Each structure stands twice: as structure tokens, then as C-alpha cells.
Structure 1
Amino acid sequence: MLKNIQEWVLVLGIIGIVVLTGNWIGYDILPITALPGMIILILISLAGLIIGKLVPLKIPSIAYIGIIGFILTVPSMPGSDQLVKWTADVSLLAIATPILAYAGIGIGRSWADFAKLGWRTIVVGMCVLLGTFLGSAIIAEIVLRFQGII
């Protein structure tokens, strides 16, 4: 278990550095400004991963991470305003970029396993991407027209 925690801390630390850099380059938020929020997000993620390993139920760690984040940011929770303020300095897109890159590397490392899934997986993946793109475009079109921007 200790080896897993050490690996998680290393990976989350690397992702944190990449997120802070992306946040700085893409959104002009200095790393020192976003550092408290990034540390909070890393600690919440680490706590969720540890709980996911300790609890014998077959619940993914992401569920525990979400629950911890939700509980800590409930308005009646002491300190929630400060947590929300700190994490607001970390852009969601700055977080998504390294995580998606890490997932891509993970798939790339096991390309043979990915190929074993067959052509249907590629078709389903393309349909998901197309559906997400079209859905986002339609929603954006409706909202922008409703607001009179276009």
C-alpha cells in the first residue's frame, strides 16, 4: 500500500506541476497564486485513492474523490469558502489537458491490448467524440442565440 501511495504522490505531483504550468501559460494565473488550490486538489485526490483501496466495496476511487470534494465545499462546512476560492484559481481545462495526455500515453503503451478490443471500439469511440462535439455545438448555438450574441 505504501508503494502505491508513493506512486500516486509522484504522479499527482507531476500532473500538478504540468497543470500549474498550463494554468500560467493559458490563463495568466501565476503558479504561486494557483498553488494552494492545486495542493487541495492533489490532497483530495490522494485521499480518495487511499479510501478506494481501504474500503472493500467495488466503488471506483473517483466516486470517493467526488464525495470528498463535495463534502469539503458544502457551504455550511467550515473553511469551504476558502477552499472554493483557492481551487477557483485552477482552470478546469488546465487540469484536463495533462490527464488526457496521461490517458493517451497509457493507451499507447498497451497498443496491443487496445488493438485486441477490435474495430468496434474505434467506431464507438468515434461516435462518442462526434456526439460530444455535435452536442456541444448545438448547446452553444442555442445559448448564444438565446443571449443574442449571434
Structure 2
Amino acid sequence: MLKNLKEWVIVFIIIGAIMLIGNWIGYDIMPLDALPGLAVLIGISLAGLVIHRLLPFQLPSIAYIGILGLILTLPNMPGSEQIVAWTAEVSLLAIATPILAYAGVSIGRSWFDFVQLGWRTIVIGMFVLLGTFLGSAVIAEVILRMQGII
């Protein structure tokens, strides 16, 4: 458990640093302004992972993280207003970018296993990625035109 905790902390520190930089470059939020919110998010995530390991229930760790975050930000919970104010300084896209990059690296590490499935799987995977990208672009285009933004 202690080894896992050390690994989680290292991963969260690396991802947190990338988030701070992305938040600063992409959204002009100074790292010192976003640091408390990021620390809260990392703390909640670490606590959720630890709870997942300690409890015998078969819930995914994201459920514990979500429940813990929900409880800590309930309106009557002491300190919830401060937690909400701190986390408001961290952009959602600044969070998503390094996490998705980490997921991509994780998938890339098993690329050899993926190739072993055959060339058809690679072709289908490329079409799925292309379809997802084009579908997202079309939906964004329609919504932005409906709102009059473009």
C-alpha cells in the first residue's frame, strides 16, 4: 500500500505541475492562484484512492473520489465555500489534457499487444478515432453556429 501511495503521489505531482502550466498558459491563471485548488483536487483524489484500497467494497476508485468531493463541497459542510473558491481557479481543460496524455502513454506502452491483434484492429481503431474527432467537430460547429458564436 505504501509503495502504491508513493507512486500515486509522484504521478499526481507530475500531472499537477503540467496542470499548473496549462492553466497558466491557456487560461492566464497564475500558478500560485491555482495551487490551492489543485492541492485540494489532488488531496481528494489521493484520499479516494486510499479509501478504495482500504474498504472491502467493489466500487471503482472514481466513485470514492466523486463521493468524497461531493461531501466536501456540500453547502452546509464547513470549509466548502473555500474549497469551491480554490477549485474554481483550476480550468477543467487544464485538468483533462495531462490526464488524457497519461492515458495515451499507458495505451502506447501496450502497443505491441495491440498490434498482435491484427491489422484489421488497427484500421478499425483509426476509423473510430477519426469518426470521434469528426463527430466532435461537427457537433461543436452546429452548437457554436446555433449560439451565434461563429
The letter for the 2-side match of 1:79 is G
Change (3 A) 1:48 1:138: same
Q: CA RMSD in A?
A: 2.3
> Which residue number in structure 1 is paired with residue 9 of structure 2?
9
Aligned-pair CA distance for 1:13? 0.8
Q: Distance in 1 between matches of 2:80 and 2:35?
A: 17
Residue deviations 1:50-80, cap 9 Å, x none?
A: 1111112221111111111111112222211
Aligned-pair CA distance for 1:133? 4.9
Matches within 5 A, 1:101-120: 101-117=101-117, 119-120=120-121
Q: Distance in 2 between matches of 1:106 and 1:79?
A: 36
Q: TM-score scaled by structure 1?
A: 0.85
> Which residue number in structure 1 is paired with residue 79 of structure 2?
79
Change (3 A) 1:24 1:141: same
Matches within 5 A, 1:28-107: 28-107=28-107
Instruction: Choose 16-25 or 68-77, whichever is displaced more.
Output: 68-77
Q: Distance in 2 between matches of 1:125 and 1:57?
A: 37
Aligned-pair CA distance for 1:128? 6.6
Q: Distance in 1 between matches of 2:68 and 2:126?
A: 30
Residue deviations 1:117-141, cap 9 Å, x none?
A: 5544763674376347525643662
> Which residue number in structure 2 is paired with residue 141 of structure 1?
142
Q: Which runs of 5+ in 1 are unaligned?
A: none
The letter for the 2-side match of 1:130 is G
Matches within 5 A, 1:10-29: 10-29=10-29
